Structure 1
Amino acid sequence: MDYKKLALSEKLNIIRAGVLGANDGIIGGAGVILGMTGATTNNAVVFVAGIAEMLAVAFSMASGEFVSVSSQKDTEKAVVAKAETLLATQPSTVHDEIAIHYEKRGADPRLAARVADDLMKKDALVHYVQIKYGIVVGKYLSPAHALIASFIASISGGIWPLLSVILLPESLKVIGTILATLWALFLTGWLSAWAGRAPRMPAILRNIVTGVLTMAFTYWLGTLLQ
């Protein structure tokens, strides 16, 4: 897969799935680990819970993305098929809708009609579907791309809080998990903004704020179970 050659909609699909997967992996992993740390000092229990959560989230997010994007793709294909039928049975209706589209955007009615005439002569279905529904015929979102992006991002994000449990001594596990999680959230926000050519700071702040709130809440719940 050459990311640079993908359409914008497909790039956004990959970024969206990756960000969701990474955030779930990071925040879910940190939440479980901190919750378990607040409830028990048994390192083996905390580690097993972290591994189980990381894999469960990764597979859950990946399968959810695959099903969700597959449903969207099926809907887009159904819309195109409906438009194709309309074009074959009521071409004048399609022509009028195209003309009205350009009229609403400021074109003179006669000019809008001429544009509709030209578009009806070549790739009418492509133009009509894109104008009316914003769908590019033949270029649908890929469920496989969403699945892979979500799974890899979820594992990549969830491994950070887990590593802090494995590598750090008991006295530093909580603060280490928090710092590792904040770093992972920072990295996810920065990478998603970079990939989508969006402002970095809002994406980073969103990730960090939601992560801090989640960690604080889950750790508090864990202490209640002691």
Structure 2
Amino acid sequence: MAANDGIIGTAGVLQGFAGAGASSTTLLVASVSAMVAGAVAGFGSKYAELAAERDAQQALIADEASDLASDDADELADLAEHFEERGVPGPLAEEVASEMHRHEPLAAHLETEHGITEPMRALQPLAGGAMNALALASGSALPLLILLAYPAAWESWAVFVAVLVSLAVTSMLVAVSARTSVPRALTRTIGIGAATMLLSYLAGVLIF
């Protein structure tokens, strides 16, 4: 999906400049600038998102650890009550809670009450940001390659067609891997891509 964003974003910028009658050199500069800016922004947004999620996890972990240290019995009762609320009979809920509490009390509370099975590691926000930036840059590189490969008279159309084909391929891969509807994924992604390029081109024409 990040690659799709890179494809659409850079293609939109190129179509806007093409609509304004920009030269090949200007289109090249615009394409590289869009790729770099998109990758940096993609890194920053993903890093901030994951870092905030990790901060929230760490706060929950600290709260649970503090609660266990201050009142272990009350936390055990809360764990048993959690299972009872989900339909487990009282005696069995207490037995399960007691067994989980005996082995790894903090992990048991984090997973059962907050859905945290594995706390996010310190480097995960950086790794996630880097992967998102790489995906965006990879997507942005396609319009750039088309720009370098085709004569100036065909650049706008070549980018338009190549972008739609690329979006179709990536959308199918995403839909198949997620086991969702391929036709719906194609319709959404190709529609957004085509609309972005057409509106960007129109904006360039009107401004010029």
Given the two structures, how large is their TM-score scaled by the length of structure 2?
0.90
Provide the C-alpha distance between the structure 1 equivalents of 2:168 and 2:62, rounded to a whole number of angstroms: 43
Q: Aligned pair 1:154/2:136, yes or no?
A: yes
What are the superposed Cα offsets for residues 50-91 of structure 1, whole Å, 9 maximum, x if unpaired? Answer: 111111111111122122211211211111111111111122
Deviation at 1:137, TM superposition (A): 4.2
Deviates more, 1:28-37 or 1:50-59: 50-59
1:57 match? 38
Query: What's the counterpart of residue 13 of structure 1?
Result: none
Question: Could you say if the C-alpha distance between residues 137 and 170 of structure 1 is closer, same or farther in structure 2, counting changes exceeding 3 Å?
Answer: closer
1:128: which partner in 2? 109
Contact 1:26 1:157 in 2 (8 A): yes
Shift of 1:187: 3.0
1:90 alignment partner in structure 2: 71
Q: Alignment partner of 2:197: what SS?
A: helix
Q: 1:68 to 1:139 in 2, by over 3 A?
A: closer
Aligned length: 206
Query: Cα offset for 1:178?
Result: 1.0
Aligned 8 A contact 1:80 1:137 in 2: no
Q: Which has the larger radius of gyration?
A: 2
Q: Aligned residue for 1:210?
A: 192
Cα offsets for 1:129-186 (capped at 9, x unmatched): 1111111244448113212211211111011112222221233222211111112222
1:179 aligns with: 161
Offset, 1:96 = 2.3
Within the alignment, does 1:76 sit opposite 2:20 as a pair? no
Cα shift at 1:113: 1.4
Structure 2 distance, partners of 1:219, 1:81, is 52
> Residues of 2 paired with 1:85 and 1:31: CA distance?
51
1-structure distance, mates of 2:74, 2:17: 62
Output the amino acid matched with 1:225: I
Structure 2: give runs of 5+ residues left out of the alignment.
none
Between the two proteins, what is the percent identity of the paired residues? 28
Q: 1:42 to 1:139 in 2, by over 3 A?
A: closer
- Within 5 Å, give how 1:4-43 maps onto structure 2: 19-20=1-2, 22-43=3-24
Distance 2:81 2:199 in 1: 53
**What is the Cα-based RMSD across aligned positions, in Å?**
1.9
> For 1:136, what is the secondary structure of its paired residue?
coil
CA deviation digits over 1:106-142, x for unaligned, max 9?
1111211121111111101101111111112444481
